[in-house]
Amino acid sequence: MHRTLREREQRLLRNLREEEERLLQPMEDDLRAIREDLDWIERELSDVQAQLEGHGLASFAQ
């Protein structure tokens, strides 16, 4: 009886870990993509701010 319960527990834990990975992986991929987009946006914003400063329009951007 104890052995059967232990085996069932191990199987359930394994299934739970697999389900966690199945659900977590797409979220991690999405988060990575969001961070890449944010990095790109921050670089673009920095470039625009530098251009505005070069044209004396820095106060306009704020």
Predicted local distance difference test score (pLDDT) of residue 11: 98
In total, the chain counts a number of residues equal to: 62
Taking the model in full, what pTM does it have?
A: 0.64
Nearest residue to 58 (alpha-carbon basis) of 50, 42, 21: 50
Confidence of residue 22 (pLDDT cuts 50, 70, 90): very high
Predicted local distance difference test score (pLDDT) of residue 58: 60
At 58, list the tokens.
């820095």
Stretch 31-43: mean pLDDT, rounded? 99
Predicted local distance difference test score (pLDDT) of residue 55: 83
Stretch 30-59: mean pLDDT, rounded? 92
Predicted local distance difference test score (pLDDT) of residue 60: 58
